[in-house]
Amino acid sequence: MTVTSTTMRLLPVRWLLLVLFLVVVTSLCMAVVVTGRTDNNGVVDNNRFIANNRLHQVYWKYLNDRRSKRSSASNSNSRLLLSLQPSRGDDGRLPGDVFIAVKTSGKFHRSRLDVVLDTWLPLVQKQTWLFTDTEDRDLSERAGGHVVDTKCPSDHSRSALCCKMAAELETFLATNNRWFCHVDDDNYLNVAALARTLKLYNADKEHYLGKASIPAPLEIMDRDALPTEKKISFWFATGGAGFCLSRPLAEKMAPLVTEGGFVNIGDKIRLPDDVTVGYINEVLLDTPLTHVREFHSHLEPLKTISPHSLKDQVTMSYSTYEDTGESNVVSIEGLSRETDPTRFLSLHCKLYPRSAKYCL
C-alpha cells in the first residue's frame, strides 16, 4: 500500500507511531512462525519466543485489551437490549409452536364456548383449534376458522371421546409445532402460566405433563396376559384439567394412535380418552407422567385455590355439585354470580384487564 506525503501529514503522529510499531512486531512474529513451521525444533523455538520476547508480549497485550474492551461493550449493549425486551414466555405470550386443542360438542357450543371465546381463546386464537362433532358456521367464524368437525359421535361415550382425541393428535402430528396441549371446553387456560410452565421443560425431550385426579395409580387387568389375572398400574393426566405432550413423545405415540389405533387401544382397555393417553405413555412407551399441580379440573374443590395464587395456575374449571346444587368455582371477587356463573369473566379481568371489555 502506498502512503502519500499529503496523507501522512493528515494522520496524527501517534497513529503513525502505532502503525510502525505494529508493522515491526508483526514482521518479527511472522518470521518466527515461518521458522517454526520449517525447522525441526520450530515449535519449541516458537513457544520460547512467545514466552520470552517482550515485543511479542506487548503486541498481544494490546490486541487482547482491544478485544476485551469490544467484548465488554458488546456484552453491555446485549444486557441493555435484554433488559428492554421482555423474555419469551415471561410476558404472557405463548410461543407460536404450542398447539392448543379444545375438545367440545355441538350441544356445548353456546353454553360452554361462549365464555371461552370471550376470555382466553382470543389471546392464542391462531394456535388454538376446536374439535367438535357438529358443523357450526357461526362458531367457525368466531374462532377464525379454527374448528375441526371430527364427524365423531356426539355422545359422551368412550368411543366418542377417543375418536376426538385421535383427531386432536393426528391434527397436531400433521404440523411442525413442538408442544401439544389439550383442554376441555369447560377449562380456563391461563396463557401466561402455561408459557412459564412449558419453559421449564426441554421441548426436544419426551414429556407428558398433567395432573392426576386420583390419589394412587390406576390398576387394571392386563388383557394381553389373559387368562392369567395380571394387573398393571399407571398414572394418567385428567383430560378435564388439561395436559401437554412434547413433540418427541407425540411422534413416539404416532404408530399407536394414528389410523384408528388410538380408538382400538381405548376399546381394548375399555377406558376413556385421557386414561388411554396415560396407558399408552406409561405402560406401552414407558414415559411417566410429570405431575403439574397447577392444572385443575372440575373434579376438585376449586374454591380451595388461594385467590392470591390464581395467576400461577395453568388451567381452571367449574361445575355444580349434583347433591347440593352448589357451584364449584374458583373464589374471586368481580362480576355478579348472575353475570359470571363460571367466574371466568372475573378471572380474566384480574389476569388480563387490558383484553377484557366487560370488567368493572
Return the active site residues.
Answer: 274
Identify the bridge partners of residue 209 per DSSP, sorted by sequence position: 244, 290
Pairing of strands 98-103, 128-132: parallel
- β partners of residue 184: 103
- Cβ-based burial of 20 (10 A; exposed 0-12, middle 13-18, buried ≥19): exposed
Cell of 81: 437490549
Rounded distance between C-alpha atoms, residue 178 and residue 246, angstroms = 6
- Dihedral sign computed on CA atoms, order 338, 358, 100, 200: negative
Nearest to 239 by CA among 62, 56, 104: 104
Distance CA 344, CA 28 (A): 76
Q: Where are the beta strands (DSSP E) in the chain?
A: 98-103, 128-132, 147-149, 179-184, 188-189, 208-210, 218-221, 231-234, 243-246, 290-291, 315-316, 319-320, 327-328
Q: What is the C-alpha to C-alpha distance for residues 18 and 265, in angstroms, rounded to an integer?
A: 78
Cis peptide before 227 (omega within 30 of 0): yes
As a whole number of angstroms, the distance between CA 318 and CA 301 comes to 9
Q: Which residue matches cell numbers 369473566?
A: 345
Q: Compute the distance between CA of residue 358 and CA of residue 356 in angstroms, rounded to an integer.
A: 6
- Per the CB < 8 A criterion, the answer to whether 315 and 189 are in contact is yes
